[in-house]
Amino acid sequence: KFMPEDIQEKIHNHPCYSEGAHHHYARIHVAVAPACNIQCNYCNRKYDCSNESRPGVTSERLSPEESAKKVMFVGGEVQRLSVLGIAGPGDALANPEKTFKTFELVREKAPDLKLCLSTNGLELPKFVDEMVKYDIDHVTVTINSVDTTGEIGSQIYPWIFYNNKRYYGKEAAQILLERQLEGMKKCVENGILIKANSVLIPGINDKHLPEVAKKLKEIGVFLHNIMPIISEPEYGTKFALDGIPSATDQEQMEVQEACGMDMKLMQHCRQCRADAVGLIGEDRGQEFTKDTFANMT
Ligand code: SF4
Ligand code: SF4
């Protein structure tokens, strides 16, 4: 499978998308987005968003100003830093002031850095214009179901908080799905590349994921990544308490195949922490605590 040239051009130095780039280019995440606007049954709010980050890790929270300082400091320490991503610890777009303030500050100082965010998609339609303004050309959306009845989604998301109101059950799942689809379409129309993540939850959406993959292709999502749910009891997530098992490597491979995924592209994908630093697979997040860059001006 070959990617169209314009997409290749955009991702050639993006470590998360390009198999060739991930040994050479580094990315940084800043943990500037603490709040979340939905509840996932595989999440434990004490830790980072399990959409993009391994559950069970807590990142040091930063303000936009601290985040910008950190990015500039790390840019001097880590070779070939090419991407800044905001991936939690909650949802990047549930904290829009913090997320976009960070992008604004970093844009001024490091105009060549690629900007990226990851989101559950609930607020995506609202912020596509803002994303275009900051020249964000990649977004990661976690989408676990495309079932319009809300039946599957309601087993994954007990509630969402939308337009100042809390919605529950199937209605919540339906609103989330509508917003995700609308947001992703709008991104495609505006030339923003979308990677989608789906969490493989045995017994709940495993059989359904090929349908998700099909829908994503229709919309024009350029990469789809299946992530195994991690359901160790110590994470205390709803699914872990309910006894939903972690997905095995075998199950994951089977579902990936059923979804027709391009394995070569996604094999190097790791679930990165909200404060990850460095090459993918090499985690230097712990090295750069607030004290290390406190004196930067
Ligand atoms: Fe947790 Fe992320 Fe889901 Fe929010 S979107 S509930 S932070 S896993
Ligand atoms: Fe890569 Fe995801 Fe981080 Fe973006 S948010 S830099 S795609 S790991």
For 126-182, the DSSP string reads HHHHHHHHTT--EEEEE-----TTSHHHHHH-SEEEETTEEEEHHHHHHHHHHHHHH
Atom of ligand 2 minimally distant from the CA of 86: 5
What does the CA dihedral 75, 76, 80, 83 come to, rounded to 10 degrees? 0
Compute the distance between CA of residue 120 and CA of residue 191 in angstroms, rounded to an integer.
19
Q: What percent of the chain has pLDDT over 90?
A: 52
**Mean per-residue pLDDT, 36-48:** 85
Compute the distance between CA of residue 3 and CA of residue 19 in angstroms, rounded to an integer.
13
- pLDDT bin (cut points 50, 70, 90) of residue 278 is confident
Out of 142-146, 202-206, 272-276, 287-291, least confident range: 272-276
Q: Is 144 in the pocket of ligand 2 (CB under 6 A)?
A: no
Atom of ligand 2 minimally distant from the CA of 195: 7
- pLDDT bin (cut points 50, 70, 90) of residue 99 is very high
Atom of ligand 1 minimally distant from the CA of 48: 7
Among the bound ligands, name the one nearest to the CA of residue 137.
2
- Residue 34: alpha-carbon gap to chain centroid: 14
**Mean per-residue pLDDT, 92-101:** 96
In this predicted model, what pLDDT tens digit does every residue of 5-17 receive, in sequence order? 777 777 777 777 7
